[in-house]
Structure 1
Amino acid sequence: MRRMIPYGVGIGWRPEIAGFVAALPGLRFAEVVAESVHAHGDLPAGLTGLRERGVAVVPHGVKLSLGGAEPVDPARVTHLAAVARRLEAPLVSEHIAYVRAGGVEAGHLLPIPRSREAVDAVVANVRRTREELDVPIALEPIAALFDWPDDELDEAAFLTEILDRSEALLLLDVANVYANARNRGTDPAALFDRLPLERVAYCHVAGGSAHDGVYHDTHTDAVPQEVLNLVAELCARHRPPALMLERDGSYPPAAELTAELDAIAAASGYPAITRAGA
């Protein structure tokens, strides 16, 4: 039986920062975009090095379209399962979202209505995916810039029903929680009180920026203090989960990235990632 993600701080592995990631002495786990890894052939050297160090590596899918009305593409499911086996991953993760419909690719994660019909579609697609996986799957709610007018459930009820019926784990993106609450004018910490936090497999932590009164989850900005405060709120409610810095461009100097990782560790009570053997 494979181990789950170790408690502690991790980072999203990207080729542009592979050298930086390889040099982190206290790294507990990393995440890689599943579609960027070949199911056969050589792994990128940076991922091979992490595996040799015993760092857990989680494939994170972005193309399954679990929230689509159409069944998931079997070839994409097969690829995700194969990458998980290659990496000896403890689990995989994907989004509660859709990215295609009627053969048209959106090229972006799109929100689905919080309706019972949408719950049925997600649960069916998760079950189809789980049939081929050897490991658990964690589902990530996305940051949405709008809500559908035919929503029947609030966020907490919608997510809880999906998790209960699909028997999936939760990938809780704290930055997404902050973005959605800020844009909707709600209390982000209140969501934690209604989610099944015992099902959290790990968490994303990322930065964003506001434009024209709307907060965007960019992954190219530094993690704001408000998100770090929300990490602390989450950890005060439940045993601190594994926490991962998600960065997807505009990479700062190594010292700034290290400071972000250590700030996440401090907010959760974990040792600094820069400490060898942490």
Structure 2
Amino acid sequence: MATGDTTESTAVPTEEVVGWETKLRYFLNSDFVRSSPYWGIPFILMGIAVYGGIGYNVVISLTDYAGLGRPTFSNFDFEMYATALSNDAFREAAINNLVLLIAFTTVSLALGLFLAILLDHGIRYKDKIQTIYLLPMALSFVVTAQLWLWMYNQENGVLTIIVTTLGFEPIDWLGNPEIALASVIFALVWQFSGYAMVVYLAGLQSIPSDQFEAAKVDGASTTRTYLRIIIPQLKESSVSAAVVLMVFALKAFTFLYALVGQYRPPNGTDILATLMVRQAFKFGKWAYAAAIATMLLLLALSVIAPYLVYQHRQGSL
């Protein structure tokens, strides 16, 4: 019995050790480990440069760093966040950010859907119209801003010529705070509505034509068919296009910088990104700017996170 007990007590650990060694051997020979020299270094560099920078920015926002010398990390607080939330300029910029985000995305989706339905009906010069509406997206923010800066010129811009020809007074499109943000949104819609059009057009072409024929047989009008049958099936297209458009709206700093000028007095087009850069580089309030950047990051995550959760539930992630 003693010998049997000894045999059993030594056999179990041996099996555990062999199993652990086998798992380790499989792991070391896996594609994940063998490919690590190729993806490991870029992954580490990206982690340091991107996520390390984000973390450092959050730390700076908890200090009173003014951009000169080294920041002191002895006293952390949320003073900069409290200052931002109580500041009128910050609240105005945040509201403008939300208006830009919602209005630009909504109008781009609506216009893109309308154009996609027209093209799906096989109108004449379909390919040419599709190219014309998609071409602006190939332009950079700076090129688009310069184009619209010329068109909005109060003295000799195209829109000014049209307005004066119709007998109206010239309009200061970018200098009037009441219409400046709308002018920015209009230019952005011009650039990106073509993207929404292509996404919706792909969604429309994936819907079987039998549904159109069945609705026609049942006596449903074209408008009713689209509203009750076709458009509800474009949910995936709407979600994916909306997320991309909202990301472009959050990246509109370059466009605004080139269109209205970063260091001019705010004219109703200030958003969180422009306010952040102005506070950092013009006034030297680096901790305050870092706090604004952190809140802008949270705004971006509030857009991306629900989409990722949605994709995960759909089995796409």
TM-score bracket for this pair, using the shorter chain length: under 0.3
Normalising by the residue count of structure 2, what TM-score does the alignment of the two structures yield? Answer: 0.23
Normalising by the residue count of structure 1, what TM-score does the alignment of the two structures yield? Answer: 0.25
**Structure with bigger gyration radius:** 2
Structure with greater proportional strand content: 1
